[in-house]
Amino acid sequence: MEVVTYLGFGILFYLCIRVASSGYYLFRIWGVSRLTHRGTIVMGDLSNSQMKILVHGDSVAAGVGAYTPEQTIAGLLAQHFSTTHYVTVVNKGKPGVRMIDLANQGAPDERYDLVVLIVSSNDVYKFTPLRRFALATREVLDAYSAVAKQVVIAGPAKMSELPALIGGHRMIMRFREHRYATILAETCEKYSNVTHIIPYAPPGMHIFAPDKYHPNPEGHRLWFELILKSLSSF
C-alpha cells in the first residue's frame, strides 16, 4: 500500500512540474510574440529587374523569435534576391493567424512575383474543424494563386516536437498535424503554380527562441532554406 501511495505522489509531483513548466513557457510565448517584424523591405540595384514578394501568415511569417528584420524569412528572401533584382518584400504576417483568417481577408490588391504563406500551425493548435480548414484552404489558394506567379505555402510546423508543450499535448498535436498537412498537400496539387512544403522535425533545441515555441534566428534560416529549395523559378 505504501508503495502505491509513494508512486501516486511521485506521478502527481511529476505532473505538477510538467504543468508548471508548460505554464512558464506559455508566459514566455506571450512575451516573445509581442515582437514582430511586419513591414516592407526594399533592397537591390534599381537598374535590375523589379521583383515583388509577399510574406503572409502566422507568427513565423511575422518574424517572431528573430531579433532583427534581416533575420526573418522576409529579410532573408530580400537579401537573397537583391543580388539579381530590385526587390520589394511586404511582410503582413501576424501571430495567431489561421487559414480561415487569410480566407476572410480575400485576395491581395496587388500582383506579386512570389507569395510565401506560412499558415496552418494555429489551425492545428486551436482545433479548427477539418472541414472548415479544407474550405478555407481552397479559398486562400484560389485567391493567392490568381495574383502571383508562384505561391509557396508552408505548414503546419511540427507542433508535436515543440519543447514548450507537455507530453500529452504533444501526442494530440502529432495525431492532428498529419491530418491538416494531408488536406493542405492534396489541395495544393490542384494548382499549377502552388507548392506545399512541410517543415521537418526540429534538429535540436538550438533553433528555438527562449519560449521554446518559436524559431530563433537560426530556426528562421532553416525555414528560409526550405522555402528557397522549393522555388521552381527566379
All domains of the chain in start order, with CATH: 2-230 (3.40.50.1110)
Give the amino acid at 164: A
Instruction: Give the three-class secondary structure for 150.
Output: strand
Measured CA distances, 136 to 62, 129, 171 (Å): 21, 11, 25
% of the chain beyond a pLDDT of 90: 66
Instruction: Give the three-class secondary structure for 199.
Output: coil
> Sorting pLDDT into bands at 50, 70 and 90, what band is 159?
confident
For 116, the enclosing helix (H) or strand (E) is strand 112-118
Helices 130-145 and 167-188: angle between axes, nearest 10 degrees: 40
CA dist 143 and 55 (Å) reads 15
Contact at 8 Å (CB) between 193 and 115? no
Residue 15 has pLDDT above 80, yes or no: no
Model pTM score: 0.83
Residue 183: what pLDDT? Answer: 97
Residue 30 has pLDDT above 60, yes or no: no
CA dist 107 and 196 (Å) reads 19
